[in-house]
Amino acid sequence: MIKRETEGEWVNREESTRIAEKIVRYCSSSGKVNVTIKSWWQGELRWARNRVSSAADRRNLTVTIQRDIDGSVANAETNQTDEESLRSLVRVAERRVLEQNPGQIIPFNNLEEPILPLPDVQIWSDATSGATARTRSSLANRLINGSERSKMIAAGYMEMRVGTRAVLDMDVSGDNKGPKRLESSLADKVFYDEWTHAQCSMTVRHPAGVGSGWAGRSAFGWNLIDAAELADRALDKCLASINPVRIEPGRYTVILEPDAFCELVEPLMGVAPMQRQAAETIRDVGSPFWLSGDEPLQIGRSRLGLKVLDERITISHDPIHPLLGVIPEPGLHSVTWIRNGVLESLQTGHEYARIELDQLVGTPFRPSFRINGGSSTTESMIAGTERGLLVSRLFGVSNTDRKTLLCTGLTRDGLWLIENGKITQAVNNMRFLESPLHAMNQVLDIGQESPVFRPVRNPAGIGVTPAIVPSIKVADFSFTSSIDSI
Amino acid sequence: MFRSISRRDTIKACANAYAAVSIGPKAFETLYQANSREPDPYLNSRVPDIRSDFVREMLFAGVAAARNAGADYADVRATHLFHRRISGSDSFGWMDTESVTIGIRALKGGYWGFSSGCVWGVADADKLAIRAVDLAAVNAAEGLGREVHLQPKQVFVDEHWENPMDLDPFEVSREEISDYFISLRRFSLTLPDWRMPSPWLGVFNKTRKAFADTDGSYLTQVITNSAGGMSWMLQGKSGSTMSAGLDTQMILSTDGWERFRNPSIRDSIREIHAELKEDVSYPIKPVEVGRYDAVMDSGMVSTMVSSSAGVAAQLDRALGFEANAGGTSYLKDVEGMPGSYRLAPASVSIKAGRSRTGDAATVKWDDEGMAVSDFHIIKDGVFTNYITTRESSSWIKSSESGRSSVACGTSSAPEAVDLPMSHTPNLEMQPGSSNATFKTMVESIDSGIAVKRGNFAMDFQQLNGSGHGTFFEVKNGKRTSLLVGAMILNRAPEFWSSISSIGGADSLTRHVDFSAKGEPQQRVPHSVWAVPVTAGQISVIDSQRKG
């Protein structure tokens, strides 16, 4: 293992265990305690107008405890790990528990979940944790050079992050008369994960604002990101997008590049649309996968088992896939949501699975997915298009109807007209009004899959959110208006 | 190693405290407990008071370390944020969150370095300062030439400010807060036909912040803000369902608890009830695509003010510094537009600033130690000023006029762990001279639409937007039906130039928006004061019917 310049910038397993042990000792009565310690370090570099505009190196942590005493649950959080702060944290949570009526607060984490295996995921890269400020700086200047030489202006961002999470979930045994005396270390009871996350993206614009191109990629490993290729691609797109012309809105055959396709399907892959509970209500509550309800029988039926998309579409997630690792959660198994267009699984919590489905393990939500690709290339799809549009990227996608998942949003950083198998000109960006469900029922061709830009926004959030998505060619994609923003 | 306030620092602080005690209770109070009011028992008393010598020494240690490491300029910020969230329905729960951070920004050779963490202490301030200078130096060595000119500023030393309020929400017990919300909820349930009153929510933040820089500044501030909410739903006979809440009454602000205790809130609940009851009573009809005269309520207008005049006027954005993040700006001719670009009729003026008591972004000094001052973004319809920082204010200098922009204290960041940047300040759209209100403006149009509880979502240049909300058809000055699926498409300049009337002072209401920018993204709140407007020939489409 290489010596990391960043060594010691995050809370390691031993420190996490020590913090957790202290918290358990400070608990003043029996009950349950859940300790979650998250920490992160990240090295950041931004550039704009062909110069590095800021370089940063930041770190922080959170210690969150949840106390459960006789069914009353309370939480408190700090980012300080000295003894007095941790004592104060426990006192605040316990005081809050005592002020409640039993069972009054719904716990954030269900402490009653069965013990389930953790998947063995791949989310750590020495290339990310070991990248230095000089690495970032040298690379950024190389990426800027291409734009500088072409008299274009570049803005971009590069980030390397290390995150950790330690969770201790235990009964605080013993009497109610004072601090606990732990007979042994809790090291074997603390679940500890470390992960890395890297991202690089770049926008190249014409100095007069008449063209713009973008490329980006995120991954757990910095070595998985070809930054030079991203810079070349962003520059090429910018040069190809200069002086777009206006075309009439309407329905077009579109080729969505992987990043654009990913942004279109985001509203489908969220927590709400894929929730089985919402799809099996007696009355329709707006789930796209609700089928019917029977009031006398008090039964709701979802579309599970029915064809909902084109048969070439398969959406799945396997946490042990080398490019789809996420922070491991108990019971996070491989799942196929939609297989060959047929709805095969929906998200279920372990509790719903046990009570309603008589299954021990649910199918938890995961912030990662894969849409299987085909064999076509973007070039071959263009060659096979008589008239259509090539879409580079989408912006501001928002849902206007929960049931149909009809969405509106804009194209950004490159939109091109395809005529007779060739890109003929750059065109003005347009507003679209389309449903990912409809689009994936109008599939003409599927391109090769590739990892996309899907960075984690909040360092203390859910860790890593990778996705693998192909480019796709879709008929009758609806555009409602042309816009003049570039 | 990752640790909190170091032992050495604690010993040092204790020694200072002891020394303070030895010279009398008043000095001790100044050192650790400057605020003589009874402290909240839930606050972590271990964290030194922001006005203590401990914090002062830590910040100046960081400044000195940066200077010794060769920084041309450096500033050090420390924040202690205490966040309290109280929520419930007929009972309540609460959660306290504390965050203590420090961040050091250094300039060397025209490049910036920033380093931050969550450990308060002299040794750690030294370490962060050296790292910040190293980061700047690495980029200065690797990069092409870059110059930074910081606008001169008045230097304030040992000044302190707290936002004024009558009742600090952290001095009000959680029980009193919850009892009050529960009483409001119970009162609301006495009104007929509500469906599912939402759980109520109170959110309170106290940010203690300190700032020092190589210019010699030393400033401390305590900013307390609060927000709350409760909403209700009502279903009409035609099947339409609508919800509304205490949006303007409890919006995020730096007012104290007294604003929540305003007796008129019960009147507001009655008004919301009556309004919702009327709104759901209209028959539903599909929207017909076309152009309409439209009356938009102040909430909807506030989102256009915030985006097309607030976000778009950020100079860094206009020059492409945010191109890889949120986007650029339609106000892109940075030399030619200020003072000459007519965006709106002369009746429209939009002021910006951070000095107004109670507003969400109000402070006395910004995160560069600049005293805040008010300025116009739009004056009599003409775009006049960009939003700038000490650095970016030098980026505009017209060679012909010699005019340059002036930084007015708009640099900020959520906490010290975040790099400060230029964020949108509070905005105020000047009301019209008439007594026009949303209601009278609707009454004055023969045929058109009215939009309530709406907002605009703008594109990556803040130029083209889509307007969403609750749409009504208006005939002969009266609302006649509820339009389903309606969505406005517009360009910001056309929106502003199509305004035919604006509401009067009585219709001016405060809203809140968040300036979201940067990589990694930061979100900083600001207030937006706006009035309802009537705009002509607004393009409306059916958002549920594809083209």
pLDDT tens for B187-211 read 998 988 887 678 889 999 999 999 9
- Mean pLDDT over residues A273-292, rounded? 91
Q: Do B2 and A8 touch (CB under 8 A)?
A: yes
Element (H, E) at B500: strand B499-502
Dihedrals φ, ψ of A178, to 5°?
165, -175
Is A63 in contact with A26 (CB distance < 8 Å)? no
- Please count the other Cβ atoms lying within 10 Å of the Cβ belonging to residue A92: 25
* Sign of CA pseudo-dihedral B480, B482, B486, B488: positive
pLDDT of residue A328: 87
CB contact under 8 A, B324 and A155: yes
Do residues B540 and B486 touch, judged by C-beta distance below 8 A? yes
Percent of all residues in chain A with a pLDDT value above 70, rounded to a whole number:
92
Do the chains contact at B546 and A478, CB–CB below 8 Å? Answer: yes
Confidence of residue B2 (pLDDT cuts 50, 70, 90): very low
Residue A310 pLDDT level (bands cut at 50, 70, 90): very high
How far is B211 from B47, CA to CA, in rounded Å?
17
Tell me how close the Cα of A80 comes to any Cα of chain B, in angstroms: 6
Contact B98 A80 (CB under 8 A): yes
Mean pLDDT over the full length of chain B: 89
- Tell me, yes or no, if A428 comes closer than 8 A to chain B by beta carbon: no
* Mean pLDDT, all residues of chain A: 90
Strand partners, B242: B234
Give the residue-averaged pLDDT of A144-172.
94
pTM for the full model?
0.92
How many Cβ contacts (< 8 angstroms) between chains A and B? 238
- Whether the predicted pLDDT of A289 surpasses 80: yes
pLDDT digits (tens, 9 = 90+) for A422-449: 999 999 999 999 999 999 999 999 999 9
Question: Any chain B CB within 8 A of the CB of A9?
Answer: yes
On whether the CB atoms of residues A335 and A345 are closer than 8 A, the answer is yes
pLDDT at B396: 84
Cβ A58–B117 below 8 Å, yes or no? yes
Residue A476 has pLDDT above 50, yes or no: yes
Kindly provide the ipTM of the predicted complex, given to two decimals: 0.93
Q: Is the pLDDT of residue A74 over 60?
A: yes
Which tokens sit at A478?
Answer: 């609806």
How high is the pLDDT of residue B22?
35
C-beta atoms of A408 and B330 within 8 A: no
Task: State which residue of chain B sits closest to A9, comparing Cα positions.
Answer: B2
* Neighbouring residues of A123: CB distance < 8 A, sequence distance ≥ 6: A193, A195, A196, A220, A325, A326, A327, A463, A464
Q: Is the pLDDT of residue B372 over 90?
A: yes
pLDDT at A107 over 60: no
Binned at pLDDT 50, 70 and 90, residue A69 comes out as confident
pLDDT band at B144 (very low <50, low <70, confident <90, very high): confident
Which residues, in sequence order, are bridge partners of residue B527? B512
Count Cα atoms within 13 angstroms, Cβ side, for A54.
Answer: 23
Residues B143, A486: C-beta atoms closer than 8 Å: no
pLDDT digits (tens, 9 = 90+) for B51-72: 999 999 999 999 999 999 999 9
Q: Chain B: nearest CA to A202, how far in angstroms?
A: 6
Query: Each residue of A22-41: pLDDT tens digit?
Result: 999 999 878 899 999 999 99
Cβ of B320 within 8 Å of Cβ of A155? The answer is: yes
Q: A433 and B547: CB-CB below 8 Å? A: yes
Residue range A225-252, pLDDT digits in tens:
999 999 999 999 999 999 999 999 999 9
**Does A340 touch chain B if contact means CB atoms closer than 8 Å?**
no
Model pLDDT, residue B400: 47
- Give dist(CA A164, CA B118) in Å, integer: 16
DSSP string of B61-130, one letter each residue: HHHHHHHHTT-SEEEEEEEEEEEEEEEESSSEEEEEEEEEEEEEEEEETTEEEEEEES--SHHHHHHHHH
What is the separation of C-alpha A24 from the centre of its chain, rounded to a whole number of angstroms?
A: 33
A283 touches chain B (CB under 8 A): no
pLDDT digits (tens, 9 = 90+) for A356-414: 888 888 898 888 999 999 999 999 999 999 999 999 999 999 998 888 999 999 999 99
What integer pLDDT is reported at residue B246 of this predicted model? 87
Q: Could you read off the pLDDT of B486-531 as tens digits, one per residue?
A: 999 999 999 999 999 999 999 999 999 999 999 999 999 999 999 9
| Alpha-carbon distance B505 to nearest alpha carbon in chain A (angstroms) | 34
DSSP string, B404-434: B----S-EE-SSTTSPPEE---EEEEPPBSS
Contact A57 B114 (CB under 8 A): yes
Q: What residue in B sits closest to A74 (Cα-Cα)?
A: B95
Tokens of B439: 């209601």
Nearest CB among A58, A80, A406 relative to B544 is that of: A406
In chain A, what residues touch B322 (CB-CB under 8 Å)? 48, 155
Cα-based distances in Å from B240 to B295, B300, B489:
21, 21, 24
- CA distances for A179 relative to A14, A70, A93, A359, A473, angstroms: 21, 18, 15, 39, 64
Among candidates B118, B319, B466 on the partner chain, residue whose Cβ is nearest the Cβ of A79: B118
H or E element, residue B479: strand B478-484
Read off the pLDDT of residues B106-134 as tens digits, 9 standing for 90 and up. 999 999 999 999 999 999 999 999 999 99
